[in-house]
């Protein structure tokens, strides 16, 4: 498991790796729809295209990277099993990807992860080990289990095969709608935005790539602006999929080279976007999945007249929590 402060490994995925992953995954993942909103276009003066990874298998984009990484395991690694840590979406993705190939999977998950994500991870056949995200060290727990059982670690984001797999969502988007002026992508550990940036370079080279993360957990934004990986305490935000403490080394090397900027948004902005998706587009989107739209709306004046892509990263939110969140505040555009 890499030290987040160590120099980046020289081997990084390339745009060709994303294209190769897209070919591999075409029979395994859903080609999720790209949806539009006439009312949003009229209100912003831009043309928005939403890549709906909330409709992906396991309910999030993470299944793409998990399938790509599991595909590259050796026979010995498959026999020994896989281990990872995750707040939920990567957990479910690894559990299903391994379950499809009868590979044992162990997932280290925070005890306050959404109940639906915990239930689904177990339902896909994985063994779940719980920890306290504010008191325990998930990497230490994972290392101890690896030393005891010899599993192969597949990280949530800091891995070339994960990055290449995640980039296939953006590759599909460009294939569906053509060239874009800007692409907005949620940021946690950086795997999705790194893969998306590689896909952008290959398929829409003039498109600007923006990341979006919670204001209380803006480690990736600070890392990009300072030129080195910034480590933070576990952020307190409703965007549980973006409660990472640092961006990965592999993603950061790509982010530095390919990403225009990373923007921070508030939890209230995420709630507003959850309401918009539910009311106007009839989509159930988790808070993390709303990061891209919230960031785009924050700079909408600069986007007028442009074609804008937004990746909706996931839709795994407990209905009770969704109801409690969207009942707060003032609905977007009302």
Contact by Cβ (8 Å): 150, 131 = no
Contact by Cβ (8 Å): 220, 187 = yes
Beta pairing class for 307-312 and 182-186? parallel
Which is catalytic among the residues 240, 313, 314, 315? 313
Which is catalytic among the residues 37, 86, 87, 204? 87
188 part of the active site: no
Which is catalytic among the residues 37, 62, 188, 289? 62
327 part of the active site: no
Which is catalytic among the residues 17, 53, 172, 213? 213
The span from the CA of 175 to the CA of 202, in Å, is 11
87 part of the active site: yes
213 part of the active site: yes
16 part of the active site: no
The span from the CA of 324 to the CA of 129, in Å, is 28
The span from the CA of 313 to the CA of 58, in Å, is 11
Interior CA angle at 99 toward 95 and 103, to 5°?
100
The span from the CA of 195 to the CA of 165, in Å, is 7
* Rounded (to 5) percent helix, strand, coil in the chain: 50, 15, 35
Contacts with 66 (C-beta within 8 Å, 6 or more apart), sequence order: 90, 93, 94, 96, 97, 154, 162, 165
The span from the CA of 168 to the CA of 199, in Å, is 7
CA distances in angstroms from 310 to 84, 293, 298, listed in the order given: 28, 6, 13
The span from the CA of 2 to the CA of 153, in Å, is 11
Which is catalytic among the residues 167, 217, 248, 309? 217
Contact by Cβ (8 Å): 110, 100 = no
| Helices (H), ranges, the chain | 15-25, 38-44, 62-71, 75-80, 89-99, 115-123, 138-149, 160-166, 168-177, 191-203, 219-226, 249-258, 267-280, 291-298, 319-326
Which is catalytic among the residues 17, 219, 272, 286? 219
51 part of the active site: no
Supply the residues annotated as catalytic.
Answer: 62, 87, 213, 217, 219, 313
């Amino acid at each position: 498991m890499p030290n987040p402060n160590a120099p980046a490994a020289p081997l990084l995925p390339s745009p060709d790796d994303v294209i190769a992953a897209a070919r591999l995954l075409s029979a395994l993942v859903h080609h999720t729809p790209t949806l539009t909103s006439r009312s949003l276009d009229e209100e912003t003066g831009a043309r928005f295209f939403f890549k709906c990874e909330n409709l992906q298998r396991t309910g999030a984009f993470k299944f793409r990277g998990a399938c790509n990484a599991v595909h590259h395991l050796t026979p010995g690694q498959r026999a020994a099993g896989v281990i990872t840590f995750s707040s939920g979406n990567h957990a479910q993705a690894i559990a299903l990807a391994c379950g499809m190939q009868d590979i044992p999977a162990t997932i280290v998950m925070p005890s306050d992860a959404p109940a639906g994500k915990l239930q689904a991870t177990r339902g896909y056949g994985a063994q779940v080990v719980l920890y306290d995200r504010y008191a325990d060290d998930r990497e230490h727990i994972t290392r101890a289990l690896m030393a005891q059982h010899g599993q192969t670690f597949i990280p949530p984001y800091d891995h070339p095969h994960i990055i290449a797999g995640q980039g296939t969502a953006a590759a599909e988007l460009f294939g569906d709608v053509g060239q874009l002026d800007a692409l907005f992508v949620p940021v946690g550990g950086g795997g999705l935005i790194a893969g998306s940036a590689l896909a952008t370079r290959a398929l829409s080279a003039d498109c600007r790539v923006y990341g979006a993360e919670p204001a209380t957990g803006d480690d990736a934004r600070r890392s990009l602006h300072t030129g080195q990986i910034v480590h933070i305490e576990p952020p307190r935000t409703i965007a549980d999929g973006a409660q990472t403490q640092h961006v990965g080394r592999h993603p950061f090397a790509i982010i530095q080279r390919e990403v225009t900027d990373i923007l921070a948004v508030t939890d209230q902005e995420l709630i507003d976007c959850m309401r918009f998706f539910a009311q106007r587009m009839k989509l159930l989107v988790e808070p993390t999945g709303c990061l891209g739209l919230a960031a785009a709306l924050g700079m909408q004046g600069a986007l007028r007249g442009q074609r804008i892509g937004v990746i909706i990263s996931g839709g795994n939110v407990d209905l009770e929590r969704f109801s409690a969140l969207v009942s707060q505040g003032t609905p977007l555009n009302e």
